[in-house]
Structure 1
């Protein structure tokens, strides 16, 4: 699809589309979403933030987990002299 049509369907300008293509960090996420919508790829946007698909993030999180968790024993309740 020509860039002019993508820009028109995304309600943005061709220079903004060039900034997206160049990886400019100043372009808002809403513009990215509009371009993905124009290209029919908006469904993939949700997968970008899916923690279950972030193997690096999951590995870092598992490194921060304690190696062993010690469970406390329940305290015994001592009976009083009168049987209560």
Structure 2
């Protein structure tokens, strides 16, 4: 039996909903490909119960199991871009807010020597 995770128990409701939606979406993707749960679990090298927990949105299922499911479904690139810097609009806004308001040229011409 897997040990309980303190982080999973403290997840906010919106995170739990997102994980549940992820599980439902994985189940839909598997069904669209007409892959039975038993075959999917075998390809992922996990038990049927683990796949069922993943598809049910159990937040304690490890990320390696999610990665295995995405690999079997041919969707690994989705995991690669999950938190890509290019799609991090909040991080970009924070970075822009920290930029100096003005830039001054150095007083010493030697600093400009290429």
Bin the TM-score by the shorter chain: 0.5 to 0.7
- Local SS of the residue matching 2:60: coil
Q: Does 1:74 align with 2:96?
A: no
Unaligned runs of 5+ in 1: 77-84
Question: Deviations for 1:1-45, whole angstroms, at most 9, x for unmatched residues?
Answer: 222211110001122112222332222211111111111111221
- For residues 95 and 55 of structure 2, the distance between their equivalents in structure 1, rounded to whole angstroms, comes to 32
- For residues 95 and 82 of structure 2, the distance between their equivalents in structure 1, rounded to whole angstroms, comes to 18
Aligned residues: 75
| 1:41-56 correspondence runs (5 A) | 41-56=75-90
**Could you tell me the TM-score, scaled by structure 2's length?**
0.52
| 1:28-47 correspondence runs (5 A) | 28-47=62-81
Structure with the largest fraction of helix: 2
RMSD in angstroms over aligned alpha carbons? 2.3
**Could you tell me the TM-score, scaled by structure 1's length?**
0.67
Pick the structure with greater CA Rg: 1
Unaligned runs of 5+ in 2: 1-34, 110-114
